[in-house]
Amino acid sequence: MNLPTKLTPIADGIHAWIPHASGSWGFANCLLIASGTRAALVDTPYDGHLTRALLAAATAVLPAGARVETVVNTHANGDHCFGNSHFPGAEIISTRASLDHLCTEPGPGQMHHLTHGTPADQPLGWYMRRHFGHYQYRGIQLVPPTRTFTGHHQLSVGAIPVELIEVGPAHTMGDLIVHLPDQGVVCAGDIVFIGDHPAHWQGPLSGVAAACETILRLEPQTIVPGHGPIVGTAELRDHRQYLQDLEGAIHDGHAKGHSAQRTAEQLARTGFYAHLGLEERLMITTAVEYRHLDGDDSAPDLIALANRAATWAFHRHHAGIPAPTPVPAAS
Ligand SMILES: [Zn+2]
């Protein structure tokens, strides 16, 4: 796998690690904040190999004597927190809801089993090997947050003020965004995906769109998404439009009495935002939105949701069906 060897400079003391690979799962962005001898990291990578690559790149820009003393996890998905154990002694901050959500999230052992212990000729096993087989889950020690908050939390890294703002439930139960007011930077976590369809596990989509609205109100110059390249507010507005278009199409299918599966397949077949990768994620987000429309507030079965996406991708792949013809996004 091609990992960046350098961090991307954003502002004085602010660098991003952008292991961008569209059409993939798990290559999440991280943000390094350093001032004087203090340093903080927003999100940690998915496995030891990725985290060591990030640390090597970080060493080149960290001031002498500085080490990461604070880790912020934007949410509890493993691709944003499985690297926590590489920062021994660091305070690890997330929302209270994110800590609660950890127990429903597949841990490293379960990810290893799903990737290597499921039948390779069945959709889930095939899909997991294809998209997660290059990660090393064995031996990862899950380190939960050591400090949690609800609403807002303020900290400073040396001279740099940092605001944590809870915006979940949205992508997951406990999402937060990180705002650096002096630098005009927002680290959005998985509220924002650029280049691929997002997979939202909690929803509703109106919650994700509201979180985008919260970011826009901060008027940042720079937005670091959870996945994909760094963007500005114009791209974030486009993304909010995507979320609203998706919400409209799903609610329409629901109102017609169509199943979640039928609605999602219709979206994929008709090339909904077909320039984005991983169309199979529409199966997940649609099923999640239906849960809200149906008033189902039981805990979502994340593996069953992943299986919906895997089954769609498996059958498309084995039928030799190419990605749908791109159509212009609605304006
Ligand atoms: Zn992610």
- Express each pLDDT in 251-295 by its tens digit: 999 999 999 999 999 999 999 999 999 999 999 999 999 999 999
In a domain, 95, yes or no: yes
State the average pLDDT for the chain: 94
The two counts, helices (H) then strands (E), for the chain are: 9, 12
Which residue has better confidence, 318 or 199?
199
Domain-embedded: residue 324: no
Structure tokens at 119: 């039948």
Ligand 1 centroid from CA 169, angstroms: 15
Strands (E), 150-248: 152-157, 160-166, 176-180, 185-193, 222-227
In a domain, 194, yes or no: yes
325 within some domain: no
Q: What Cα–Cα distance (Å) separates residue 324 from each residue in 73, 147, 278?
A: 35, 45, 11
pLDDT value of residue 2: 82
206, part of any domain: yes
Distance (angstroms) between ligand 1 centre and the Cα of 256 equals 32
pLDDT reported for residue 322? 60
Residue 192 C-alpha to ligand 1 middle, in angstroms? 9
Domain of residue 135 covers 8-318
Would you say residue 331 lies in a domain? no
Q: Per residue in 76-92, pLDDT tens?
A: 999 999 999 999 999 99
Q: How confident is the model at residue 330 (pLDDT cuts 50, 70, 90)?
A: very low
Please state, in angstroms and rounded to a whole number, the distance separating the CA atoms of residues 51 and 71.
13
Q: Of all residues in the chain, what percent carry a pLDDT higher than 90?
A: 90
Going edge to edge, which strands form the sheet with 38-42? 8-11, 14-17, 30-35, 38-42, 67-72, 91-95, 147-149
Q: Measure 295 CA to ligand 1 centroid, in angstroms.
A: 26
Contacts within 8 Å (CB) and 24+ apart, 319-326: 323/274, 323/279, 324/268, 324/269, 324/270, 324/271, 324/274, 324/279, 325/271, 325/274, 326/271, 326/274, 326/275
The stretch 246-253 carries a mean pLDDT of 98
- The H or E element that residue 317 is part of is helix 302-318
Q: At 104, is the pLDDT very low, low, confident or very high (cuts 50, 70, 90)? A: confident
C-beta separation of 187 from 181 below 8 A: no
Task: Kindly state whether residue 327 falls inside one of the protein's structural domains.
Answer: no
Ligand 1 centroid vs 64 CA: distance in angstroms? 31
Q: Ligand 1 centre from 76 Cα, in Å?
A: 9
Scored b (16 or more CB within 10 A) or e, 110-143 reads ebbebbeebeeeebbbbbbebbbeebebeebeeb
- CA 42–ligand 1 middle distance (angstroms): 12
Distance 171 CA to ligand 1 centre (A): 9
Ligand 1 geometric centre to CA of 80 (Å): 6
How do residues 128-174 score in pLDDT, each as one tens digit?
999 999 999 999 999 999 999 999 999 999 999 999 999 999 999 99
Q: Ligand 1 center to residue 63 CA distance, Å? A: 28
Angstrom distance (rounded) from CA 96 to CA 12: 31
For the beta carbon of residue 23, count every other beta carbon within 10 angstroms: 11
Determine, yes or no, domain membership for 151. yes
Q: Is the pLDDT of residue 321 over 80?
A: no
**Number of domains the chain contains:** 1
Q: Could you identify the residue written with the tokens 């439930």?
A: 169
Q: Identify the CATH number of the domain in which residue 226 sits.
A: 3.60.15.10
**How many Å lie between the centroid of ligand 1 and the Cα of residue 208?**
14
In DSSP notation, 251-286 reads: HHHHHTT--HHHHHHHHHHTTTTTTSB-TTHHHHHH
How remote is the CA of residue 77 from the centroid of ligand 1, in Å?
A: 6
